[in-house]
Amino acid sequence: MDNKTRIIKKYQNRCLYDTQDSCYISINDLKQMIYEGKEFVVHEAKSKKDITRSVLLQIISEEENDNEPMFTPDMLMKLIRMHGASMQNVYGDYLQQSMEIFESRSQEFFNQIGKTMTHNPVKMWADLTQQNLQNWQKFQDDLFSNLTKKQ
């Protein structure tokens, strides 16, 4: 655990205590930390047991109940079936990698959209066309160069 990771203590009365800011927080505060990309772990105050996963599952459950659901019943049933299966670790790794790829591609997409909005679209298309023409010219030059060398 690094210095950036906050330690949250959860007491038997369900109160959450942020040890970094020395204050009590709510589950919504934890959700906000997630949105802001802040790292944290949640420990039971008495036993020091790591209960981060169960708290995160609680947040997901509340989000699914309070907002437009992300998970269909069929999807949830499939996730439940994966638990205890011989390939449970493979499923988990696959889901983790899929989420990372999706997150990366989404970020790239939104960066491209942002660039489009800040640039003149006509100039952007002209530049792209010019770049494609240069690539095509290079391809033709390389092709003809290789063909003439073989003769």
Angstrom distances, CA of residue 1 to CA of 5, 10, 40: 6, 18, 9
38 part of a folded domain? yes
pLDDT for 130 equals 86
Q: What is the pLDDT of residues 63-99, one digit of tens each?
A: 999 889 999 999 999 988 888 888 888 888 888 898 8
User: Are residue 125 and residue 66 in the same domain, yes or no?
Assistant: no
111 part of a folded domain? no
Answer yes or no: is pLDDT of 151 > 60: no
133: containing domain: 119-150
- Alpha-carbon distance of 9 to 46, in angstroms, equals 9
113 part of a folded domain? no
User: Which residue, 55, 70, 85, sits at the end of a domain?
Assistant: 70
What is the helix (H) or strand (E) element at residue 75, kind and residue range? helix 73-82
77 part of a folded domain? no
User: Which residue, 49, 70, 91, sits at the end of a domain?
Assistant: 70
112 part of a folded domain? no
- Alpha-carbon distance of 26 to 8, in angstroms, equals 11
Rounded-to-5 percentages of helix, strand, coil across the chain: 65, 10, 25
Q: Name which residue leads in pLDDT, 84 or 46.
A: 46
User: Which residue, 70, 105, 131, sits at the end of a domain?
Assistant: 70
User: Are residue 2 and residue 60 in the same domain, yes or no?
Assistant: yes
62 part of a folded domain? yes
**Number of structural domains, the chain?**
2
48 part of a folded domain? yes
Q: What is the pLDDT of residues 10-25, one digit of tens each?
A: 999 889 999 999 999 9
